[in-house]
Amino acid sequence: MDFSKSLGKCGFCRKTFGKTEMPKHLAECEKGRAGGSKKRFFQLFVEGRRSPEYWMALAVPASCTLRDLDDYLRKAWLECCGHLSSFEINGKKFQSDDETAGEFGEKTIDVALSKVLSPGLTFFHEYDFGSTTELKLKVISDGAGIEGAAKPVLLARNLPPEISCESCGKKAASVCTACVYRGKGWCCKECAPKHKCGYEMALPVVNSPRAGICGYTGKPR
Ligand SMILES: [Zn+2]
Ligand SMILES: [Zn+2]
Ligand SMILES: [Zn+2]
Ligand SMILES: [Zn+2]
């Protein structure tokens, strides 16, 4: 499927743009705003590695750590039951858990972005090493960002993709945790109780690459 036309909203002007146009638009839209801070920011483009219809653009202060970024990604898209996570940058692993990091000679994620990122770099994030959700991140640019921001700021994000019920074609409301791995199990409200795996296996459809995985509901726990 072609997701390059997947639509999202710019956080500055609230206008809708396609996924491929968005980085260019953000650069222009940001230029048009008066002021801007002197602080160094990275502009990041994040997407599901296997589900590129989910994407967002972030401005992250260069003084933030990978842990700050990990926290943000967990809150926005990933957190279900406190699984481990890691980044892979230039072939090096950075782990969320300090102990395992030491054990395997990997680094921890308590490292400033300014030490590990540079414009043009593509890197990866994994949440939960069992039912893993993989993200691809790209450093679009470094430059000025949002005045006063100390944590990552959302610049743009995809609109919820339209997913249809596999039985009747209406808008899907739930997805089966057993079938989602095969790209199946999407049901509307009426068809969900009739799904073969039972209603207990259903999770709500949420705007996240982790929809239907483990216990992810999109709500903070
Ligand atoms: Zn804009
Ligand atoms: Zn979980
Ligand atoms: Zn249906
Ligand atoms: Zn099922």
- The domain ranges of the chain are 7-158, 162-216
Q: Give the distance (Å) from ligand 1 centre to CA of residue 41.
A: 18
Give residue for tokens 């799904």.
195
Q: Give the distance (Å) from ligand 2 centre to CA of residue 83.
A: 6
* Protein residues with C-beta less than 5 angstroms from the ion ligand 4: 176, 178-179, 185, 197
Into which CATH architecture does domain 7-158 fall? Roll (3.10)
Tell me the ligand closest to 185's alpha carbon.
4
- Distance separating alpha carbons of residues 129 and 96, to the nearest angstrom: 12
Q: Give the distance (Å) from ligand 1 centre to CA of residue 8.
A: 11
Residue 54 near residue 208 (C-beta atoms within 8 A): yes
pLDDT in tens, the chain (221 residues): 577 778 999 888 889 999 999 988 988 887 766 555 567 889 999 999 999 999 999 999 999 999 999 999 999 999 999 999 999 999 999 999 987 777 777 899 999 999 999 999 999 999 999 999 999 999 998 876 677 788 999 999 999 999 999 999 999 999 999 999 999 999 999 999 999 998 888 999 999 999 999 999 998 65
Q: Report which residue type is found at 3.
A: F
- Distance separating alpha carbons of residues 153 and 69, to the nearest angstrom: 10
Cβ contacts of 147 within 8 Å, gap of 6 or more:
35, 36, 37
Q: Report which residue type is found at 189.
A: K
Q: Give the distance (Å) from ligand 2 centre to CA of residue 214.
A: 5
Q: Report the CATH fold assignment for 162-216.
A: Cysteine Rich Protein (2.10.110)
